Structure 1
Amino acid sequence: MLKAENSLGIIFFPAFDWAISPTHPEREERLLYTQDQLREEGLFDIEGIREYKPEVAETLDIERVHFCFPEAEAVATRSHYISAGGAIKAAELVMQGERDRAFALVRPPGHHAMKTVQGSRGFCTINIEAIMCEYIREKYGPKRIAIVDTDCHHGDGTQDVYWHDPDTLFISMHQDGRTLYPGTGFPKEAGGPKALGKNINIPLPPGTSDAGFMKVMEDLVMPILDDFKPDLIINSAGQDNHFTDPITNMNFSSQGYAALNSMLKPDIAVLEGGYAIQGALPYVNLGISLAIAGVDYSHVREPGWNPEKLKETDEIMDYIGTLCEGVKEIYFNPPTKSNEGVITGNWSVRHRNIFYDTEGFTESQTESLLLCDECRGLLKVETQKENGPMGFGIEIPASACDKCRNTGYSLLEEAQVKSRYRYMQMINRKDKDYLRYGF
């Protein structure tokens, strides 16, 4: 009988009652075929691998991470709460020592959901990895966390959530944004003024296959992780780099995904994208599960896999080698100034227009970080949905000094007096004080 080298918990949530539309790529069948495959292959007959049911996240879990306007309950459905709860369940299995590792096979996904949420974009509404990570920090204390996003699309939402956090290393390896949604994720996006070099983007050329991804892992990702020394490694496990995916242009395989996870050794993996529902997801999920558990995955084969035919050109490999050297420099010798935002007095200010492609509206946002010599700084957000009311958010980080904490409350009181904003929200991680006002 096979035995897992690392005990593994797998959490399923296909979200039977939720889809953007009945024929949309992000629908329940994404996990139904995987469920069948894992059971048919006898995954749960392996000693040490066990299936678990998800929990249901609370509104507080969401509001610990996001400014939600008008409120979390208005933008997120019950399925979103359970998807986030599935990620939290994975975290609890690992943090409490019941399992060595965990894989949350849940939907809807979340890595395009930014700090401020007014609807859905890129099939995502709330950021389930960030909700999980901040749940861990709230319950188990400060942690250095590395999130390695292997989705084919740049994880712009996770990047935004952790843009100012020096204790979270975000690494996104994705198809070049010049060729794919959301059009971001370039090396120059290195992080906010207090977290420069902690945001690592690796935009790969279309046609990248197993050899290219493993070169990135060996030459770039693993050296950075060895230096950062995270307490936890999270794989934001998007699977749309697969060579059969209908909406991307990469040539990764189930063997490649398994080898990547075997090298990465994530404590927790959380499913993100992947839309080749029958020909890829069941095999990729099986390969990842076996790799994380430390079980031989060499027999996993999806239909149509031909390594020689899928192999990238020498030109692509040369390009990836040059890219790795340049990106490595950004981490080990970060720039002295963020390329986004302008300094206005004691504030670093970014003005942005964020398009919610799933729902077809634009959010106008001004984000301001108070530049503090004693802590990572107070975050202020002013936002307006297209033709809608204004929202105001204040975040006091867990490490905030007394000056930033007091300034945060003063700004909130001032906003209430002005009555300029219909919706206001405070995230006070220092005192675990979470406030929301609406008119």
Structure 2
Amino acid sequence: MLKSNNRLGIIFFPAFDWAISPTHPERQERLLYTQDQLREEGIFDIEGVREYKPDVAAIEDVERVHFCFPEVSSVATRSHLISAGGAMKAADLVMEGERDCAFAMVRPPGHHAMKVVHGSRGFCTINIEAVMIEHIREKYGRKKVAIIDTDCHHGDGTQDVYWHDPDTLFISIHQDGRTLYPGSGFPQELGGPNAMGKTLNIPLPPNTSDEGFLMAMERIVMPILDDFKPDLIINSAGQDNHFSDPITNMNFSAKGYATLNEMLKPDIAVLEGGYSIQGALPYINLGICLAMAGVDYSHVKEPNYNAEMIAQDAQTTAYIEELCKQLPKLYFNPPPFDAKGDGKQGVVSGDTFIRPKQIYYDTDGINEVQQETVSVCDSCRGLFKVETRADSGPLCLGVEIPIDACPTCRSKGYQIVEEAQLKGTYRYIQMINRLDKEYLRYGF
């Protein structure tokens, strides 16, 4: 019997009762073909590879991460909670030592879900990686975490959640935002004033093939990971960089994905996008599983694969080589935060960082305006406050006391909430107190 070098746990959740529409690429078939392929290939016959059922995330697990207005149950279905619970199950398997690594093949996906949630954007409502990571920190103690997002679309939601977190390194490798939704993910997006350089974006040109992706991994991602020294590496494993994906313009292959994961050695992988349901996903997922298990994946080959047809041109290679020279500097020697700035990344006024944002929920057709403020504090990562309104709805307030909050920021957080209740300015108020593990809501 074939034996894996790493004990791998695989969690499936196809979400039979949730789809954008019956014919939309984001539907249950995304995982059903993969499930059949893995069984046909005999992956569960490999000693050391085992399948598990997902857990169900609790409301508190979501509220540990998100400000959901008016409440979690109004924006998220049970399938969203099970998807997040599948990622949490993967984390528990690894953290408790039952498995060396785990792959949560679950949906709905999550990396476009931002800190504030009024609905769905980019097919995402709950950021399942963030729910998983904060579950780890709540249950197993503070950890340094690196998230490597390999989805073709910029992981703008995950970036937003961890914009102010110096303990989380977020690196997104994606198709250049000038050519693809959501139109973000550029090198100058480096994080807030308390976490400069802990966000790094690698925008690759259309038609990048295995050569370009693996070059970026070798020359940018791996040296940064060696320096950051995370306790955990998470692969936000989007698969829509594949050459056959119907909604993107890249030329990555199934074997390329496997090689990337062999290099990265993620502790946990969580499925994100990928919409070539029959021609790519079963083979990509198979390759990733074999690579994570430490088993030979050289035989993995999808239909219509032709290396010459998808090879990148010399101009693309030269462009990526220049990215590899320039981008690491933004992590190793990040520029000082521009206190005045141009307003796009926020400004500092006194001891407060202020960032106004306009967000469009393309899946649900919702427009949101918000203003985010964070204390620039020498003793902790700062008190977080957000005022938000969706379309013509009520004004809402979110306040987060961080996990490392100093007494001043903790006291100020409670003061803001108490004053807001007295004034009656906000219809809904939510407090996330990570320091004391207290999660409160007002206005119901």
With the length of structure 1 as denominator, give the TM-score of the two structures: 0.99
Number of the residue aligned with 2:433: 428
Looking at structure 2, the residues matched to 195 and 324 of structure 1 have their Cα atoms a distance apart, in angstroms, of 22
Number of the residue aligned with 1:328: 328
Identity %: 72
Report the secondary structure of 2:279's partner residue. Answer: coil
Number of the residue aligned with 1:358: 363
Number of the residue aligned with 1:139: 139
Encode CA deviations 1:327-386: one digit per residue, 9 max, x unaligned.
101000001115511122321100110000001121000000011111110000000001
Looking at structure 2, the residues matched to 118 and 390 of structure 1 have their Cα atoms a distance apart, in angstroms, of 12
Looking at structure 2, the residues matched to 249 and 220 of structure 1 have their Cα atoms a distance apart, in angstroms, of 22
Report the secondary structure of 1:157's partner residue. Answer: helix
Encode CA deviations 1:278-326: one digit per residue, 9 max, x unaligned.
0000000000000000000000010011112211011101100111221
Report the secondary structure of 1:195's partner residue. Answer: coil
Query: Aligned-pair distance for 1:101?
Result: 0.3
The amino acid that maps onto 2:416 is L
Looking at structure 2, the residues matched to 43 and 342 of structure 1 have their Cα atoms a distance apart, in angstroms, of 51
Report the secondary structure of 1:426's partner residue. Answer: strand
The aligned runs of 1:166-315 (5 Å cut-off) are: 166-315=166-315
The amino acid that maps onto 1:174 is H
Looking at structure 1, the residues matched to 318 and 2 of structure 2 have their Cα atoms a distance apart, in angstroms, of 40
Residue 388 (structure 2) aligned to one of 370, 373, 383: 383
Moved over 3 A (4+): none
When the two structures are aligned, how many residues end up with a matched partner?
Answer: 439
Query: Aligned-pair distance for 1:219?
Result: 0.4
The amino acid that maps onto 1:181 is Y
The amino acid that maps onto 2:168 is T
Number of the residue aligned with 1:397: 402
Encode CA deviations 1:19-60: one digit per residue, 9 max, x unaligned.
111111100000000000000000000000000000000000
Does 2:154 match 1:149?
no
Looking at structure 1, the residues matched to 386 and 42 of structure 2 have their Cα atoms a distance apart, in angstroms, of 49
Does 2:381 match 1:373?
no
Report the secondary structure of 1:221's partner residue. Answer: helix
Looking at structure 1, the residues matched to 380 and 10 of structure 2 have their Cα atoms a distance apart, in angstroms, of 38
Report the secondary structure of 1:196's partner residue. Answer: coil
The amino acid that maps onto 2:324 is C
Number of the residue aligned with 1:53: 53
Number of the residue aligned with 1:19: 19
Structure 1: 5+ residue stretches without partners: none
The amino acid that maps onto 1:320 is I
With the length of structure 2 as denominator, give the TM-score of the two structures: 0.98
Structure 2: 5+ residue stretches without partners: none
Query: Aligned-pair distance for 1:235?
Result: 0.1
Looking at structure 1, the residues matched to 109 and 276 of structure 2 have their Cα atoms a distance apart, in angstroms, of 15
Number of the residue aligned with 2:83: 83
Q: CA RMSD in A?
A: 0.6
Number of the residue aligned with 1:417: 422
Number of the residue aligned with 2:350: 345
